Structure 1
Amino acid sequence: MVVVCVTGASGFIASWIVKFLLHRGYTVRATVRDPASPVLSVVQDPQLWYTLSKTLAESAAWKFVRENNIDMVAINPSVVIGPLLQPEINASSALVVNLINGCSQTFPNASYGWINVKDVANAHIQAYEIASASGRYCLAERVLHFSQVVKILHDLYPTLQIPEKCEDDKPYEPTFQVSKENAKSLGIEFIPLEVTLRETVESLKENKLIEF
């Protein structure tokens, strides 16, 4: 019997990792974080501080494992969306919520990589099980500007109230490329963003976090 520890197990990504591990026959020992960690609501621009905390934490982890001859693999997903197992809306799912049913009159002028939470969870387990896995794995099924995400949502749900105007009149923030080769070496077959967005919306609806 293999015992695996999953930290932050009640979170959006980790809850799927736990589910997939149990399906594979592992015994899971779970830990959960303090509700005030890693970002306090009083912090100005909490997303910036969250990103910084993740960067510093990974840097410290790599330093520690090098000094102590420990094997480590890092999974670095882009914006993670998809069906929820936890009862509340997480930060990345909120990006989708804010685009539907008149929650916002505009969409952000920003380009992000997007990835399904199930692909992220699977990548964690594959990185654990595949002995040759090493280094960092960046995950993104696609990189799109919010205007393109809005178009997909409108095509999927033409009756929803979805913003048609950008939040500013500046040129759209450019997109960028994220290589899929490393992720494919883990056996990850990315779920298309169209499927991921539909799963996200349907999950939010089932959990009564949105209505339409």
Structure 2
Amino acid sequence: MSTVVCVTGASGAIGSWVVLLLLQRGYTVHATVQDIKDENETKHLEEMEGAKSRLRLFEMDLLDIDSIAAAVKGCSGVIHLACPNIIGQVKDPEKQIVEPAVKGTVNVLKAAKEAGVERVVATSSISAITPSPNWPADKIKGEDCWTDLDYCKEKGLHYPIAKTLAEKAGWEFAKETGFDVVMINPGTALGPLIPPRINSSMAMLVGILKGDKETYEDFFMGMAHVKDVAMAHILALENKKAAGRHLCVEAIRHWIDFVDIVADLYPQYNVVRLEHDTQPGLLRAKNGAQKLMDLGLEFTPAEQIIKEAVESLKSRGYV
């Protein structure tokens, strides 16, 4: 793998960590942002050690293949994180979420293949694994499990639909062309924020600390430190053995487990403990991410993830 890697969606919570770790490992990084004039997207990247000599910023639109081609030119690897991440209600989900996710993934793969890129590591999600209510009750959910699209359509869950269709489109492209594609399926990514903006996972934690009663049973399967999620992408890029999908959680947990850990660690906050398990069909597992562990990833323990996340939120004034 040569030393030039393109990171799409580089200004986000995970993307920023990917850029930081790549720079620390000596790579030259082509980082894509939506608006190159927006300091909220660019300043924290430009201030990283090594950025002056080894970071190039590119303005990219997932639906504009020329803008993607410019960013991936001269790169041997691409880490594709850019995706519309809107969990709540939207006016036009097909146009705002599904289309950019699916077409964007295919456009990035096309541009990368044409540019002679060796491998693309793309960010999928546990939302392409769960919700899957018809999965056998005695079997741990993992890389062989796919989200139930009919269930999602019935419940209006547009984000899991987008992530599932985008990942499937990526695999279809890889199958048709023989292109080297690897997928990472992260759970809830928590930890120290690098960008000035908060991401949806950290906003979810803010909600818990402020007494939110939401249960997120269709969006939760476990968590991972944001730095570990970033490292998962880099290990998958560097390691020729990496293939297929990679569940990325420190353990498969229920939402109630997560809330209980937060409540135990932070009794001074108004955390609402759940009386009933909202995910009885989900089997817990300590080594759900065995494929990533086999690549050398050591997951940060749950308590430490939450502590570092809350400290980051406190330092930013969110809680």
Fold shared by both chains (TM-score > 0.5): yes
- Map residues 160-179 of structure 1 onto 2, 5 A cutoff: 160-165=269-274, 172-174=278-280, 175-177=282-284, 179=288
State the one-letter code of the partner of 2:163: K
- Residues 209/122 of structure 1: CA separation in 2 closer, same or farther (3 Å cut): same
Q: Is 1:23 aligned to 2:24, yes or no? A: yes
- Alpha-carbon shift at residue 171 of structure 1 (Å): 5.2
Q: Is 1:58 matched up with 2:167?
A: yes
Residues 102-159 of structure 1: per-residue CA shift (max 9 Å, x gap): 4x2x351635211111111001000111111111111111233333222212221221
Pick from 101, 104, 108: which aligns with 2:215? 108
* 138-147 vs 6-15, greater mean Cα deviation: 138-147
Residues in 2 aligned to 1:101 and 1:88: alpha-carbon distance in whole angstroms: 19
Q: Which has the higher contact order (CA 8 A, sep 6+)?
A: 1
| Unmatched 5+ stretches in structure 2 | 35-60, 62-81, 98-155
User: Deviations along 1:153-198, whole A, 9 cap, x unmatched?
Assistant: 22212212211345xxx65322324623211111011101110001
What secondary structure sits across from 2:295 in the alignment?
A: coil
Shift in alpha-carbon separation, 1:19–1:109, aligned structure 2, 3 A: closer
> What is the identity percentage for the equivalent residue pairs of Structure 1 and Structure 2?
42
Conserved? CA contact 2:8–2:15, under 8 Å: yes
User: How many residues align structurally?
Assistant: 204
Q: Aligned-pair distance for 1:38? A: 5.7
Name the structure 2 match of 1:155. Answer: 264
TM-score, normalization by structure 2: 0.58
Give RMSD over aligned pairs. 2.5
Contact 1:7 1:32 in 2 (8 A): yes
1:131 corresponding residue in structure 2: 240
Moved over 3 A (4+): 33-41
Q: 1:67–1:172: structure 2 CA closer, same or farther, 3 Å change rule? A: closer
Q: TM-score, normalised by structure 1?
A: 0.85
1:48 positional shift: 2.2
Q: Which residue of 2 aligns with 1:79?
A: 188
Q: 1:66 to 1:153 in 2, by over 3 A?
A: same
User: Is residue 42 from structure 1 mapped to residue 87 from structure 2 by the alignment?
Assistant: no
Q: 1:91 aligns with which of 179, 190, 200?
A: 200
Take 1:162 and 1:171, find their aligned partners in 2: how far apart are those partners?
16
| 2:283 aligned partner, one-letter code | F
SS in structure 2 at match of 1:28: strand
How far residue 15 of structure 1 moved from its aligned partner, in angstroms, is 1.0
SS at structure 1 position matched to 2:208: coil
Letter of the aligned partner of 1:156 in structure 2?
Answer: L
Partner Cα distance (2:25, 2:247) in 1? 24
Distance 1:171 1:157, change over 3 A: closer
